[in-house]
Amino acid sequence: MALLDVYTSPLTAAQVAHLLRRATFGPTPDQLKSFTGQTASQIVAKLLADQPAPAPPLDLTTGKTFHDQPFDQTNAGKLSVYLKSWWGNQFLNETPSLTEKMTLFWSNHFVTNQSTVNDYRYMYRYNALLRQYALGNFKTFTIAITQDPAMLRFLNGNQNVVGTANENYARELQELFTVGRNGGYTEDDVRAAAKVLTGWTDTGYRDVTNATIGSTFRANRHDTADKTFSATYQNTVIKGRSGANAGLDELNDLLDMILRNAETPRYICRKLYRWFVNADITSDIETNFIRPLADLFRKNNFEIKPVLVALFQSQHFYDEALRGAVIKSPTDLVVGTLRFWGTQAPNQTQNVTGFYQVGNYIYSRVKEEQQDLLDPPTVFGWTAYYQTGYYQQWINSTTLGLRGSFGDMLTTNALKLNGKPAIDVLAYAKTLPTPDDPAKLVSDLTSQLLAIPLAQDQKDFLTDTVLLNSIPRYEWTGEWNDYVNNPNDAAKKQAVQLKLTNFLQYVLRMAEYQVC
């Protein structure tokens, strides 16, 4: 069995949950039911369907858009938070789709950050660009990101002029965005690429009188000499040009040259594998998964969708050993939990206050758990995706307690989002086949919430010790039926609700809940 062979059998509920936890921000119970029995090909086609661009964020004070207005220096900090909260709500409200997860992936690949760029309008445009090209053509994407005003600011492309070339973007374009550290490029290649990229600048930065932002090419600041590259790039010479089209023409040549390097598609496929599948790339995975996937990438003219189709339909992706192999990122944990329990952000044009109440809650939780949206800490992205150990970096002495308290807050009903408790455990229990049987209730609930199947002794412990606090199992059956028959009796309701709440708090703190 080749690792990239298509998995053709209908997917079980556990396999559907695995796919949706990795490819999206987690399943809902209804999605688990509706997708179970479909093939990977059928589900992946739905996940890759084109999505309309979301409506831009609104100013909570005015109810109007702010990305298309002159820079507001007084309210810049507040508007930046609105943007991040708005993005959190796109994660939450998205129909089953890869678009937002891939947008987040690219924000960790083509990194910029708000703290450096310091113009929320630039960051909205950057986010929109990531979403626009998230499932498109990698070359076209890279050309667009090179000209993006936020990127020009972040990596000093706007300071790159003939005679005093700034090498920051030219270096990261190769080291982090395309061929990777092991791609064999030289310092001379960095210098030559920097000369190719001279002349670009952003426009409208923090302009308090003009709403227009963008980028432009200044031909008089471009290095028109020929640029010669090393043997890594087959000693390619990029012909120097002059005139208004010189910058874009040479940029096209530069990307064509970089994409001819065999390491470029391999590097991108490794990053996708680590993001969606597993941090550990063995020699077998490199040879029998990454390299054929990279060949497919190249064969399809660097279109991103065919790579994702092959990855998510592969025999390897559904290997049971890969379930639970990834520690949930803060976005996966926070958004995935809220999505499972049915939380949605209201339409921002109809209820902008409620919209930002939900979005700000999401943003605040993921930020404190060390995944500040639109603000990765360095050009390398978030630590968990490049440091040794990868996902393990999401769990530390600070974040472990915060992840636990997040679950506690949701289960106590103290938190109201969009006017409703974040979790209604009684309503959920009623949807299960046999909630009056405590053992089956525990089995059904944990099979939906946890990526890793529990051993029987774990289920027995959760049933007898955590849920029932050592009372006989038959007593639960009586208590549950009493509640169902008398739903308005506060004492009968409380008898089951307290047990379910304590049980759910325990489950949301389990190690098995922290992985996907």
Sign of CA dihedral 87, 89, 95, 97: positive
Helices (H), 214-349: 246-260, 263-276, 283-285, 291-299, 304-312, 330-340
For residues 1 and 98, what is the distance between their CA atoms, to the nearest angstrom? 27
- Decide which of 209, 244, 261 is a domain's last residue: 261
Residue 222 CB-half CA count within 13 A: 25
For residues 413 and 425, what is the distance between their CA atoms, to the nearest angstrom? 10
Per residue in 336-357, pLDDT (tens digit) is: 999 999 999 999 999 999 999 9
For residues 266 and 290, what is the distance between their CA atoms, to the nearest angstrom? 6
Query: Is 13 among the domain residues?
Result: no
> E strand or H helix at 354, and its extent?
helix 352-368
- Quote the pLDDT of residue 388: 61
Query: Is 219 among the domain residues?
Result: yes
The whole-number average pLDDT for the span 142-168 is 98
- Quote the pLDDT of residue 420: 86
Residue with tokens 């290997």: 319
Query: Is 145 among the domain residues?
Result: yes
For residues 293 and 311, what is the distance between their CA atoms, to the nearest angstrom? 8
- Quote the pLDDT of residue 291: 97
Q: SS3 for 315? A: coil
As for how many domains the chain has, the answer is 2
Query: Is 346 among the domain residues?
Result: no
Residue 197 predicted with pLDDT over 80: yes
Alpha carbon of residue 313 to chain centroid: 19
Work out the percent of the chain whose per-residue pLDDT is above 70.
99
**Total Cβ atoms within 10 A of residue 158:** 19
Quote the tokens at residue 155. Answer: 């990596």
pTM for the whole thing? 0.97
Give the pLDDT band (50/70/90) at residue 321.
very high
> E strand or H helix at 215, and its extent?
strand 214-217
- Quote the pLDDT of residue 389: 66
Query: Is 195 among the domain residues?
Result: yes
For residues 510 and 461, what is the distance between their CA atoms, to the nearest angstrom? 13
For residues 93 and 17, what is the distance between their CA atoms, to the nearest angstrom? 18
CA distances from 106 to 126, 305, 509, 512 (A): 11, 14, 30, 28
Give the pLDDT band (50/70/90) at residue 412.
confident
Identity at 188, one-letter amino acid code: D
Per residue in 354-393, pLDDT (tens digit) is: 999 999 999 999 999 999 999 999 999 999 888 666 778 8
Quote the tokens at residue 186. Answer: 């030289």
Give the pLDDT band (50/70/90) at residue 419.
confident
Residue 449 predicted with pLDDT over 60: yes
Of 512, 455, 432, 447, residue with least CA distance to 13: 447
Q: Is 122 exposed, middle or buried (0-12, 13-18, 19+ CB in 10 A)?
A: buried
Query: Is 470 among the domain residues?
Result: yes
Residue 318 CB-half CA count within 13 A: 24
Of 135, 141, 137, residue with least CA distance to 99: 135
Quote the tokens at residue 290. Answer: 């990454």
- Which residues are within 8 A (CB) of 419 and not within 5 positions of it... i.e. 6 or more apart? 354
Query: Is 33 among the domain residues?
Result: no
- Decide which of 236, 261, 286 is a domain's last residue: 261
For residues 366 and 399, what is the distance between their CA atoms, to the nearest angstrom? 10
User: Both ends of the chain: CA-CA distance in Å?
Assistant: 25
- Decide which of 200, 234, 261 is a domain's last residue: 261
**Total Cβ atoms within 10 A of residue 231:** 9
Per residue in 49-106, pLDDT (tens digit) is: 999 999 999 999 999 999 999 999 999 999 999 999 999 999 999 999 999 999 999 9
Residue 1 predicted with pLDDT over 70: no
Query: Is 7 among the domain residues?
Result: no
Task: Quote the domain boundaries for residue 178.
Answer: 137-261
- Which residues are within 8 A (CB) of 448 and not within 5 positions of it... i.e. 6 or more apart? 13, 17, 29, 32, 340
For residues 414 and 406, what is the distance between their CA atoms, to the nearest angstrom? 12
